[in-house]
Structure 1
Amino acid sequence: MSEHVDILAFGAHPDDVEIGAGGILAKQAALGYKTAICELTYAELSSNGDVETRKREGKKAAAILQLAGRYSLGFPDRGLTGTAEQIQEMVRLIRRLQPKVVLAPYWEDRHPDHVACSRLVKEAVFDAAIRKKVPEVAPHRVQRLYYYFINNIGKADVIVDISTVYDKKRAAILAFESQFVPGPGRVATPLNQPSYLAMIEGRDQVWGHQIGAAYGEGLVSGQPLALRDLVF
């Protein structure tokens, strides 16, 4: 059975993609497209939760978003150095899944791992198309690379209406209870403050308003977007 997917979304940690592009993945899955998430680390340095908890939460979120697959490369948390070995592992996954579209974190973010992930994905997407890179696996050329926002908001090149699946996005984020819900034994972090999820929802409402929808998710393209015709 083929593992090929239409959209592969990379994040540095479990929950990154859910925050920035969970609605897009839920909507595309509902339309019949195959979607997948790959987190580069297990987030073993997180202030709350542990690796096994995050894995369980990730499986729950994957079911909510109807992902075709969820992958973890197990790079060190706060160790996304972009070594040849790290890039090669990402190239192998891209070639194995052959996505048409890849999503990555936006290159400006307060968390250094999100910034590093953005750079690593760009390099891996580029190398995945080079035949002489990782020659034991056939090359694959990704059609589109878009960047999603995690902690910031910015000017989007593309806004996707996610109004009909917003309940799924909200549920997928909250599946990571250890990160977003205060509780016994958990320390206070920016993520489990009431203002954080309110900020995410407000941001999605701002983008939605820009396209006449209740909720939207914004993406940035590193390359010009092509139209076949101005009238469509």
Structure 2
Amino acid sequence: MSERLDILIFGAHPDDAEIGMGGTICKHTSAGSRVGICDLTYAEMSSNGTVELRQMEAAAASQTLRLAVRSNLGLPDRGLYMTPEAIKKIVLEIRKYKPRAVFAPYWEDRHPDHIACSKLVQEALFNAKLRRYEPDTEAHNVEQSYYYFINDVYEPDLLVDVTEVHAKKMQALQAYRTQFEAAGANNDFVNTPLNQGYLSRVEAKDRMLGQKRMISYAEGFVSKLPYVIDLF
């Protein structure tokens, strides 16, 4: 089978894509689209859990989302910088899967790694279409790129109604037990913003985004390019 994907989503850490657009992923995979996630890091700096546990959790979430592929570039957690090496790795991932659309975190967020991921993907999208950049691989021009919200929400350009698949999104997020389960007396966890009701806030965010269009649950996206249509 061809490795080509319809949609390729980049996140700085395992769980970023699920937080921002897990419902949209479910809608597309249920409709037969080939969707993949590429995590830039193994989130090795996380306060809770281990790399091995987080990879197991990511695999479980991927199964719930019915992903065609999930990859990890192994870039350093809290060490995402605008380097030629990091950009090249992302370019090669884009050229490998030749997606029609690419998604990345919105460029404003409280977590610096999310901001860095957004900027790195924007650079890579430009380089991926240059035939003289890494000429041993075939250039690929992504038709459209979109940006999803993780922690902070800004005015979206478009909404996706994820009401019917929202339970699946939450199921995928619940796979990340080391991140979202409350710290207890019998485990080696510490309190973080993620295990202090964060999933409830994700649900509230999705409700808030849908409110303007009377949608129970929605996910919002931003595009840097205008939309082209034939008729209204």
Calculate the TM-score normalised by the size of structure 1. Answer: 0.97
Map 1:1-232 to 2 at 5 A: 1-183=1-183, 184-194=187-197, 196-229=198-231, 231=232
Quick one: which amino acid aligns to residue 76 of structure 2? Answer: P
User: Cα offset for 1:209?
Assistant: 2.1
Quick one: which amino acid aligns to residue 200 of structure 2? Answer: A
CA distance in 1, matches of 2:214, 2:3: 36
Quick one: which amino acid aligns to residue 89 of structure 1? Answer: K
CA distance in 2, matches of 1:171, 1:105: 21
CA distance in 2, matches of 1:207, 1:112: 23
Q: How many residues align?
A: 229
CA distance in 1, matches of 2:26, 2:70: 14
Moved over 3 A (4+): none
Calculate the TM-score normalised by the size of structure 2. Answer: 0.97
User: Cα offset for 1:85?
Assistant: 1.1
Quick one: which amino acid aligns to residue 137 of structure 1? Answer: T
Which stretches in structure 2 are left out of the alignment for 5+ residues? none
CA distance in 1, matches of 2:230, 2:124: 28
User: Cα offset for 1:211?
Assistant: 2.3
Identity of aligned residues (%): 49
Quick one: which amino acid aligns to residue 57 of structure 1? Answer: E
CA distance in 1, matches of 2:193, 2:70: 26
CA distance in 1, matches of 2:230, 2:204: 34
- Secondary structure in structure 2 of the residue aligned to 1:21: helix
Quick one: which amino acid aligns to residue 33 of structure 1? Answer: S
- Secondary structure in structure 1 of the residue aligned to 2:135: coil
CA distance in 1, matches of 2:33, 2:119: 26
User: Cα offset for 1:200?
Assistant: 1.1
User: Cα offset for 1:52?
Assistant: 0.4
- Secondary structure in structure 1 of the residue aligned to 2:116: helix
What is the RMSD computed on CA atoms of the aligned residues?
A: 0.8
Deviations along 1:24-64, one digit per CA (max 9) or x if unpaired, are 11110011101010000000000000100010000000000
Deviations along 1:137-189, one digit per CA (max 9) or x if unpaired, are 00001011100000011100010000111011001111100000024210000
CA distance in 2, matches of 1:206, 1:42: 31
CA distance in 2, matches of 1:202, 1:226: 32
User: Cα offset for 1:207?
Assistant: 1.5
CA distance in 2, matches of 1:228, 1:85: 41
CA distance in 2, matches of 1:228, 1:148: 26
CA distance in 1, matches of 2:209, 2:96: 33
